[in-house]
């Protein structure tokens, strides 16, 4: 009867790695399931509270003069969010794309400074951005939707720069070299070859930045301030947004105002969800086109 040969170090190492891999797979699966369950619970709770009040009246009327009164809606906040975020998008998207083009296509000392400042802005708390705009704008010209749009544009700008920069780096260099070899200028190459190739990714990054801006409250408290009782479409005056009205109604002690806050929260989640899903669809469409 022959003695059993001991397992080789290679086999022992392989068994150990397989066991660690199995344990980590289970741990990560449980962590993922826990996060998904938490998100589903939050969405279900907000939907359960918000649907009690959400309806056509909520989307078409302004809040009542007395917070304790029932009825009314956040029509002025919805309009204000669209206007302020729209202006912020118009300010930040062209500047962000231009900065990303300079970082990727031209480089140089200015590009290094821009990259450093972008990293700083990404890590900057939004309330600091609001205080900065308050000191430079609001202190001289007063509260307004334009001031809020500038604050949101500063928040969106680094996100757009980073997203666009990463997408531009994914464009094959062979396309650039082929265009330059034909005698096309670098600027024309960027406009006619690079940007169309990266279009879907750029749009995706811009939409995610818009979704981020939609939910900002802190910088708007110091810039737009809010106008809860009136539907204001003039951005040079104080304006409300959904996030501001949710905050103002949630901190009151009245159940009716808090019910409006829940409905506003659900409306904001739906808007952000639509933007996020749209960004995903555009991203997948761009990947499918590039695969062809």
Treating both helix axes as pointing N-terminal to C-terminal, what angle do 199-214 and 255-291 enclose, rounded to 10 degrees? 170
CATH of the domain at 215: 1.10.3720.10
Mind listing the pLDDT tens digit of every residue in the chain (292 residues)? 455 555 567 677 788 888 899 999 999 999 999 999 999 999 999 999 999 999 999 999 999 988 889 889 999 999 999 999 999 999 999 999 999 999 999 888 888 899 999 999 998 999 999 999 999 999 999 999 999 999 999 999 999 999 999 999 999 999 999 998 999 999 999 999 999 999 888 998 999 899 999 999 999 999 998 888 889 999 999 999 999 999 999 998 899 999 999 999 999 999 989 888 888 787 777 655 655 6
Question: How far is it, in rounded angstroms, from Cα 235 to Cα 141?
Answer: 13
- Six token digits for residue 193: 């070859």
Q: Tell me, yes or no, whether 82 lies in a domain.
A: yes
Give the predicted TM-score (pTM) of the model. Answer: 0.88
* Domain span at 91: 70-291
Q: Tell me, yes or no, whether 188 lies in a domain.
A: yes
Q: Tell me, yes or no, whether 103 lies in a domain.
A: yes
Percent of the chain as helix, strand, coil, to the nearest 5 = 75, 0, 25
* pLDDT value of residue 221: 94
Q: Tell me, yes or no, whether 190 lies in a domain.
A: yes
For 97, 111, 121, the CA distances from 144, given in Å and listed in that order, are: 26, 33, 23
Give the chain's domain count.
Answer: 1
Q: Tell me, yes or no, whether 50 lies in a domain.
A: no
Nearest one of 249, 211, 267 to 47, comparing CA atoms = 267
Question: How far is it, in rounded angstroms, from Cα 255 to Cα 68?
Answer: 7
Q: Tell me, yes or no, whether 58 lies in a domain.
A: no
Q: Tell me, yes or no, whether 213 lies in a domain.
A: yes
Q: Tell me, yes or no, whether 129 lies in a domain.
A: yes
* pLDDT value of residue 1: 46
Question: How far is it, in rounded angstroms, from Cα 96 to Cα 141?
Answer: 26
């Amino acid at each position: 009867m022959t003695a059993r040969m001991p397992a080789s170090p290679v086999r022992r190492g392989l068994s150990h790695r397989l066991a660690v891999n199995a344990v980590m797979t289970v741990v990560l699966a449980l962590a993922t399931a826990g996060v998904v369950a938490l998100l589903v619970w939050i969405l279900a709770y907000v939907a359960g509270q918000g649907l009690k009040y959400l309806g056509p009246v909520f989307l078409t009327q302004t809040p009542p003069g007395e917070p304790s009164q029932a009825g009314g809606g956040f029509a002025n906040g919805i309009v204000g969010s669209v206007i302020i975020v729209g202006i912020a998008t118009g300010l930040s998207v062209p500047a962000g794309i231009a900065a990303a083009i300079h970082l990727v296509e031209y480089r140089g000392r200015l590009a290094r400074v821009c990259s450093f400042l972008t990293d700083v802005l990404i890590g900057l708390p939004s309330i600091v951005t609001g205080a900065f705009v308050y000191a430079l704008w609001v202190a001289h010209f007063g509260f307004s939707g334009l001031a809020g749009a500038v604050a949101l544009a500063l928040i969106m700008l680094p996100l757009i720069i980073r997203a666009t920069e990463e997408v531009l780096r994914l464009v094959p260099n062979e396309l650039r070299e082929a265009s330059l070899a034909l005698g096309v200028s670098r600027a024309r190459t960027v406009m006619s070859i690079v940007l169309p190739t990266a279009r879907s990714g750029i749009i995706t990054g811009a939409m995610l930045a818009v979704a981020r801006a939609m939910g900002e409250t802190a910088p708007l408290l110091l810039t737009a301030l809010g106008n809860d009782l009136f539907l204001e479409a003039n951005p040079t005056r104080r304006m409300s947004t959904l996030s501001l009205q949710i905050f103002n109604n949630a901190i009151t002690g009245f159940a009716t105002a808090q019910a409006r806050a829940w409905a506003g929260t659900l409306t904001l989640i739906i808007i952000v969800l639509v933007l996020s899903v749209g960004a995903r669809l555009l991203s997948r469409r761009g990947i499918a086109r590039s695969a062809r």
